[in-house]
Amino acid sequence: MDQKQDSIRNLKLTQEEIHAMVENCPDNVRDYIRELEHRIQRHAEIGVALSKEKDMNQLLEMILVEAKQISNADGGTLYMRTDDNRLKFEIMMTDSLNFHMGGTSGKPIPFYPVKLYNDDGSPNVSMNAAYVGITGKTVNIKDAYEEEGFDFSGTKAFDSKTGYRSKSFLTVPLKNHEDEIIGVLQLLNSQHPRTGETIPFSRNVQSLVEGLASQAAVAITNKNLIKSLEILFESFIKLIATAIDAKSKYTGGHCERVPIITMMLAEAVNKLDEGPFKDIHFSEREMYELRIAAWLHDCGKVTTPEYVVDKATKLETIYDRIHTVATRMEVMKRDAEIRFLKQQLALEKRTDLSPEEKKSELRRLRKNYARRLHRLSDDLAFLEEANIGGEFMSPDKKDRVRKIAQYRYTYKGKRQPFLDANEVSNLLIARGTLTHNERKVINNHITQTIKMLKKLPYPKHLANIPEFAGGHHEKMDGTGYPMGLTGKEMSVQARIMAIADIFEALTARDRPYKKGKTLSEAMRILGFMRNDAHIDPDLFEIFVKEKIYLDYAGEYLDPAQVDMVS
């Protein structure tokens, strides 16, 4: 046993000893060993490079270029399999013709994809690339003009036009980890490293290209998988946002428009080279994180009752109670009519009055009755107007609501106040249509947003989403909600989103109690909020200076809203 361990130890040579042994080998052996070392090192480098590349066009081109270098091929084509069983031309390159299409070249490939199956459903085995795409077998052809079994008529037609001579072909499948064929790599005209003569692709070269193809397929699959997951993730987020917008006809589109304004302002910040934000530059990942946060900024509204979100008038709950008030008013008019008719009958029965006196008294009763009907109609019109809500309700109007509330009407034989306490408190709302408690329910959506978003297991580059999305109702002076953060405690992204949220709400045309404000009105209000330390003054200056408001208005606002901003 000890002798065996000693033998094993003796086989463990140092790197210096290995290099010494290589240097003592014959030239041809030494060159072969060094070539192997270079190939092993290059394979490792390619593997790392393929795993790091993020751009699909760059990735595909890297695969083809590396395959050409490994095989010393003059040209090559990379095909990717489509969902409808075709091989789409992604990149074509031929060095001797200075020919480069697809990939990063910016030149589209005008050729139709190669069908894997004929119109009758039979496999298209006559085409070299299609055969490999169907069977998954590598095809190594010494000379296309002498090869039987494959149709090279298109290749020969190309040669006749260009004067080129297509000869050796190496066509290799790209198989992913599930052994599915996702593409085909085809190399053209391997060249002798010293003479430049076109030669067949050797077995050794074929093995190396197949190894690269395997690495490439894994890299492409991983890239596609990541992209698919990102698309799924973003689509799901947009689905949630769309559902929130669809929940209320009055806020429809808000979740979609806020990200647009947010990203416009963030991109403007990115371009600055002076001022307080000159050192801030959002990376591509940070911009993606901000966009997702903007889409999710109101996700907590899924927990907000619809009758609060959709409260278009002050008296609205599940239905607008102004209709009940109108019915009561009709009851009061009916009671007034009954009273008038009773008084008229009583007058006719009186014997102590002369005919002229009766006529005079009847005119008085009719006048009082008409005055009563007019007042009730006028009161109802006032209540209907008050019910709509607005920016301000004057004290005299509030007093009139209280006075009308004291009217008495008969219901089921009982005399009761015309308006109950809840109806009075709602009609006395000074701004908008929400009571204090209802506004608390609305404001709670941001707390729910933060709670919901904090439960998600984010990857590292999306970890700030709860903070960005949950901070858009905070204010620079600390009077915002839900946490009362000051400007210094808020991220730049959250401050950007706060401006976007306010501007969209001011200019939106679908709010229940107001029309969308004009640009000048919205910008004036934002200016007041800047002066009151509610929004970031530096970001607001960028919003104004870069005319972001105007760019947004040109595409998303009604032309009637776009006026001159001084």
Residue 331 lies in a domain: yes
**Mean pLDDT, range 305-320, rounded to an integer:** 78
Q: Say yes or no to pLDDT of 14 above 80.
A: no
**Mean pLDDT, range 275-289, rounded to an integer:** 93
Q: How far apart are the first and last CA of the chain?
A: 94
Q: Say yes or no to pLDDT of 539 above 60.
A: yes
Domain co-membership, 466 together with 547: yes
Residue 242 lies in a domain: no
Residue 238 lies in a domain: no
Domain co-membership, 280 together with 209: no
Domain co-membership, 211 together with 72: yes
Q: Which residues form the domain of 77?
A: 54-225
CA distances for 327 relative to 265, 404, 542, angstroms:
51, 15, 54
Q: Are 536 and 499 in contact (CB under 8 A)?
A: yes
Q: Are 278 and 264 in contact (CB under 8 A)?
A: no
Q: Say yes or no to pLDDT of 17 above 60.
A: no
pTM for this model (two decimals): 0.66
Domain co-membership, 424 together with 476: no
Q: Are 546 and 504 in contact (CB under 8 A)?
A: no
Residue 236 lies in a domain: no
Domain co-membership, 121 together with 179: yes
Render 143-187 in DSSP notation, one character per residue. Answer: -TTT--SS--HHHHHHHHHHT-----EEEEEEE-TTS-EEEEEEE
CA dist., res. 183 & res. 437, Å (int): 61
Q: CB burial class (10 A; 0-12, 13-18, 19+) of residue 186?
A: buried
**Which range, 25-29, 34-38, 421-425, is most confident?**
421-425
**Mean pLDDT, range 57-70, rounded to an integer:** 86
**Strand, helix or coil for residue 116:** coil
Q: How many domains does the chain have?
A: 4
Predicted confidence band of residue 510 (pLDDT cuts 50, 70, 90): low
Domain co-membership, 139 together with 45: no
Residue 264 lies in a domain: yes
Q: What b-and-e string marks burial along 453-484, b requiring 16 or more CB atoms within 10 Å of the CB?
A: beeeeeeeebebbbbbbbbbbbbbeeebebee
Q: Tell me how many degrees the CA angle 247-249-250 measures, rounded to the nearest 5.
A: 115
Residue 243 lies in a domain: no
Render 246-311 in DSSP notation, one character per residue. Answer: HH-TTSTTHHHHHHHHHHHHHHHHHT--SSTTTT----HHHHHHHHHHHHTTTGGGGGS-HHHHT-
Q: Are 125 and 131 in contact (CB under 8 A)?
A: yes
**H or E element: which one contains 80?**
strand 73-81
CA distances for 182 relative to 48, 55, 119, 380, 524, angstroms:
21, 18, 21, 72, 57
Closest Cα partner for 448 from 331, 250, 301, 561?
Answer: 301
Share of the chain above pLDDT 90, in %: 58
For the chain, the average pLDDT equals 87
Q: Say yes or no to pLDDT of 437 above 80.
A: yes
> Which position has the token pair 């006529």?
359
Backbone phi and psi for residue 42, each to the nearest 5 degrees, phi listed first: -65, -40
Lowest mean pLDDT among 88-102, 183-197, 384-398: 384-398
**Strand, helix or coil for residue 93:** strand
Domain co-membership, 261 together with 390: no
Residue 241 lies in a domain: no
Backbone phi and psi for residue 465, each to the nearest 5 degrees, phi listed first: -55, -45
Q: Are 64 and 54 in contact (CB under 8 A)?
A: no
Radius of gyration of the chain (CA): 40
**Mean pLDDT, range 348-365, rounded to an integer:** 91
CATH number at residue 188: 3.30.450.40
pLDDT of residue 1: 47
Q: Are 272 and 278 in contact (CB under 8 A)?
A: yes
pLDDT of residue 44: 56
Q: Which residue, of 389, 412, 431, is where some domain finishes?
A: 431
CA dist., res. 374 & res. 356, Å (int): 27
Share of the chain above pLDDT 70, in %: 88
Domain co-membership, 392 together with 475: no
Domain co-membership, 209 together with 130: yes
pLDDT of residue 26: 65
pLDDT of residue 43: 59
pLDDT of residue 390: 78
More confident residue, 9 or 208: 208
More confident residue, 204 or 132: 132
Quote the tokens at residue 361.
């008294």
Q: Which residue, of 431, 449, 464, is where some domain finishes?
A: 431
DSSP code of residue 278: T
Predicted confidence band of residue 11 (pLDDT cuts 50, 70, 90): very low
CATH number at residue 537: 1.10.3210.10
Residue 366 lies in a domain: yes
DSSP code of residue 462: G
Domain co-membership, 518 together with 490: yes
What is the total residue count of the chain?
566
Domain co-membership, 125 together with 202: yes
Domain co-membership, 267 together with 334: no
Q: Which residue, of 431, 452, 478, is where some domain finishes?
A: 431
Q: Say yes or no to pLDDT of 566 above 80.
A: no
